[in-house]
Chain A
């Protein structure tokens, strides 16, 4: 279905009006972007794709042209390399962007479901790249399973539950203000799975929600399915790392800061060396169920 989009691409590309850009160059640039729109396509598997990538690397004029085509279509270029291919992603409000309402029907009306779907994506990324180094290391391949993601979130929630109990806090939400309920309780409350007539995961259960997330990410070319154990096992692709590192992570961070939540304490202003200790403390507390 990318073919019609492909045909329409040369038009925005034709406008730059550079020195020696021919319509054939514009077509090639658009062709490269079209390849980038097929995220599951491996650059090494297609000779034409490989050739266009090489041209992008070696010919700055062509590179600018391809980037302009992408920008005109409402795409953000994350990286152009032999391993990731033409890694493009949808800019905000682009026709290529994924909307929550299209993704899950219930999520459009129910804020709890909306949160669960969003958190599932966040948790998949967090488990795929557990340490900051993993997110930075281009050669790192993360591995995860559906049940593992659910267990991981539940573990973090359990820790919060214990901490609240230690402080004698009553976390039960007020009946007339469900929006003030602590977010972790929503996940804990939802059942992990359930018996159904056709032996599939119930879509509303947390493993069902995580399963939907990883299936969707697999379609986006971000994950590859490697097995059926633990509800399905997956490994990450270079594109996913780029997407999380350069797009999603920073966007979510910005939103969090806007809410007035600053995850790093003042004493550890420089992120790089303090990263480990900060990480160590948080994960240690959240990950270990026994009291130390």
Chain B
């Protein structure tokens, strides 16, 4: 194979002596492993380079943060877009702050950004990495080669935004060996998941569920590309068999997974609710989130699949049912783009240059007359009307104040309900006191108390309130001339405002 074999009388290879390297197959395996190894280099590099940062950063495990970032980006990759840059930074911060809890949040954020930027490799024009490795060519010469790869890449999203995606290299090497058939791998992962849940081994189940989700993401990614390609040229795709089969298969797959995952969801929910161990409970709750996310992705996939049929028919109308034309004989893609791409760049550039030189049209050369230039430079700039037309004065009509309660009444009720945290009161007592002040006031107090039965905890949490009014029904009946129902216990709960604020910044 290696010699040009000009004469056939020479016995092949026998007299060639010892080969300088093992067979090309072994070398190829080596090259593959070298490339896989190269993908991990940027992560090691982070830990090696953290010493060069201005400041004391050695406490942070940069490779750990980087792997977490890759996981986060992979999980947050959506059908159309990728993961949001800011969101990834925010989600990384809890892990970073756990590594060095005493350091300021600003520093944690700086670390997150530094790691993410280095994963993208912002400094280079390709925004990627390059590793050099050597292989033996078939003729026994040693060749150094460049291996270019990316870990996290930036892709355009809707509205001109930029999103992050993990590359295949990153997923294959750093997330797990996923270089397998997507469908079967997914089924395997889910069977495993179900078995693990049935046996109550939640830690393993969570791992399996996460793997299932990686596969789900990969699967939808494959399909997205496929649908995009069918839009381009109807006849380029086999719509008689291949694509309908593929869509049917994918729809079956979605239906199947949907059923499957709903079953799993029910199981885990049960595990979550019945489990005594708080660790199990928490893990089961996380699992519920993961499986819910899987279901959401499947639903998204399904809606895309359903759009495929109408899209095909519309494209067919446009492309295939038009009256046949005499063709120009030139197929831009088939005759130019496709043959040019595999050429070595120094030859391909001749073709693209030829196309560029004749395909860009013309530019009228700019010629300036000195007289015009002088006039132009001496002309004062034109005052521009940038403020627009004057706004008409709005004609406002005073609306009558038809509130049921006055401000004074609200103040009185609030004052009445301003209870000390350690001394809750019965509603009946509050109503009696209110009635002594103002016959209308009990209505307002009752209203506020009923609202307090379901206190707006979320709002209070977000706004950082220090206390919150609450009401509890302990079964006692209310004995009152005007109101019926339960005699609620009304009290004030103190909230840990500082703790909540810290939580909020972490979750944001």
Binding site for B on A (CB under 8 A): 1-2, 4-5, 37, 39, 75, 88-90, 92, 94-98, 100, 103, 111-112, 114-115, 117-119, 121-123, 125-127, 129-133, 135-137, 147, 150-153, 155-157, 160, 168, 170, 172-176, 178-187, 189-195, 199, 201, 204-205, 207, 216-217, 220-222, 228-231, 239, 243-245, 247-256, 258-259, 261, 263-264, 271-272, 275-276, 278-280, 282-284, 286-290, 292
Quick check: A133 and B360 within 8 Å, CB to CB?
no
Mark the stretch among B14-22, B93-101, B201-209, B232-240 that contacts chain A: B232-240
User: Which of A156, A179, A222 touches B345 (beta carbons < 8 Å)?
Assistant: A179
Question: In this complex, what residue of B is CB-closest to A250?
Answer: B330
Quick check: B361 and A191 within 8 Å, CB to CB?
no
- How far, in angstroms, from A90 to B335 measured CA to CA in the complex? 24
- How far, in angstroms, from A147 to B128 measured CA to CA in the complex? 20
Give the Cβ gap from A96 to chain B, nearest Cβ, in Å: 4
Quick check: B356 and A100 within 8 Å, CB to CB?
yes
Question: Using Cβ atoms and an 8 Å threshold, which residues of chain B touch A283?
Answer: 232-233, 236, 333-334
Quick check: A122 and B336 within 8 Å, CB to CB?
yes
One digit per residue, 1 when the CB lies within 8 angstroms of any chain A CB and 0 when it does not, for chain B 316-352 equals: 0001001011111111111111111111111111111
Give the Cβ gap from A2 to chain B, nearest Cβ, in Å: 5
Quick check: B156 and A192 within 8 Å, CB to CB?
yes
Question: 9 A-B contacts, Cβ less than 8 Å apart?
Answer: A122-B337, A131-B319, A182-B345, A190-B126, A228-B159, A248-B355, A253-B330, A255-B350, A282-B334
Pick from A112, A183, A192 the residue with the most CB of B within 10 Å. A183
- How far, in angstroms, from A247 to B357 measured CA to CA in the complex? 9
**Additional 4 contacts, C-beta under 8 A, given A119-B340, A121-B352, A252-B352:** A97-B363, A121-B360, A174-B146, A186-B345
Question: Using Cβ atoms and an 8 Å threshold, which residues of chain B touch A261?
Answer: 339, 343
Question: Using Cβ atoms and an 8 Å threshold, which residues of chain A touch B342?
Answer: 160, 182-184
Question: In this complex, what residue of A is CB-closest to B28?
Answer: A168
Known: A96-B362, A179-B344, A280-B236. A251 touches B355 (CB 8 A): yes
Give the Cβ gap from A213 to chain B, nearest Cβ, in Å: 8
Total number of B residues with any Cβ neighbor in A under 8 Å: 88
- How far, in angstroms, from A247 to B332 measured CA to CA in the complex? 13
- How far, in angstroms, from A228 to B160 measured CA to CA in the complex? 8
Question: Using Cβ atoms and an 8 Å threshold, which residues of chain A touch B345?
Answer: 111-112, 115, 178-183, 186
Mark the stretch among B56-64, B223-231, B280-288 that contacts chain A: B223-231
Question: In this complex, what residue of B is CB-closest to A106?
Answer: B125
Question: Using Cβ atoms and an 8 Å threshold, which residues of chain B touch A292?
Answer: 238, 242
Question: In this complex, what residue of B is CB-closest to A183?
Answer: B348
Quick check: B344 and A130 within 8 Å, CB to CB?
no
Question: Using Cβ atoms and an 8 Å threshold, which residues of chain B touch A151?
Answer: 228
- How far, in angstroms, from A125 to B120 measured CA to CA in the complex? 31
Question: In this complex, what residue of B is CB-closest to A287?
Answer: B229
Quick check: B354 and A221 within 8 Å, CB to CB?
no
Question: In this complex, what residue of B is CB-closest to A75?
Answer: B362
Known: A174-B144, A192-B155. A89 touches B358 (CB 8 A): yes
Question: Using Cβ atoms and an 8 Å threshold, which residues of chain A touch B340?
Answer: 119, 122, 183, 256
Give the Cβ gap from B228 to chain A, nearest Cβ, in Å: 7
Known: A131-B331, A132-B331, A287-B229. A117 touches B356 (CB 8 A): yes
Mark the stretch among B256-264, B365-373, B444-452 that contacts chain A: B365-373
- Determine whether B506 belongs to the interface, using a CB cutoff of 8 Å to chain A: no
- Determine whether B408 belongs to the interface, using a CB cutoff of 8 Å to chain A: no
- Determine whether B304 belongs to the interface, using a CB cutoff of 8 Å to chain A: no
Binding site for A on B (CB under 8 A): 28, 31, 85, 120, 122, 125-128, 132-133, 135, 143-148, 150, 153-156, 158-160, 162, 222, 225-226, 228-230, 232-233, 235-238, 242, 246, 319, 322, 324-367, 369
Question: Using Cβ atoms and an 8 Å threshold, which residues of chain A touch B158?
Answer: 229-230
Give the Cβ gap from B162 to chain A, nearest Cβ, in Å: 5
Question: In this complex, what residue of B is CB-closest to A181?
Answer: B345
Give the Cβ gap from A74 to chain B, nearest Cβ, in Å: 9
- How far, in angstroms, from A64 to B210 measured CA to CA in the complex? 74
- How far, in angstroms, from A186 to B349 measured CA to CA in the complex? 11
Quick check: A194 and B122 within 8 Å, CB to CB?
yes
User: Which of A133, A135, A263 touches B338 (beta carbons < 8 Å)?
Assistant: A263
User: Which of B162, B236, B242, B333 touches A194 (beta carbons < 8 Å)?
Assistant: B162
Quick check: A280 and B235 within 8 Å, CB to CB?
yes
Question: Using Cβ atoms and an 8 Å threshold, which residues of chain B touch A131?
Answer: 233, 235, 319, 331
Give the Cβ gap from B13 to chain A, nearest Cβ, in Å: 20
Question: Using Cβ atoms and an 8 Å threshold, which residues of chain B touch A250?
Answer: 330
- How far, in angstroms, from A153 to B327 measured CA to CA in the complex? 24
Question: Using Cβ atoms and an 8 Å threshold, which residues of chain B touch A259?
Answer: 343, 347, 350-351
Quick check: B327 and A252 within 8 Å, CB to CB?
no
User: Which of B145, B246, B358 touches A290 (beta carbons < 8 Å)?
Assistant: B246
Quick check: B338 and A282 within 8 Å, CB to CB?
yes
Question: Using Cβ atoms and an 8 Å threshold, which residues of chain A touch B126?
Answer: 189-191
* 7 pairs of A and B residues whose beta carbons are closest in the complex: A118-B352, A248-B359, A220-B361, A179-B346, A191-B127, A183-B348, A283-B236
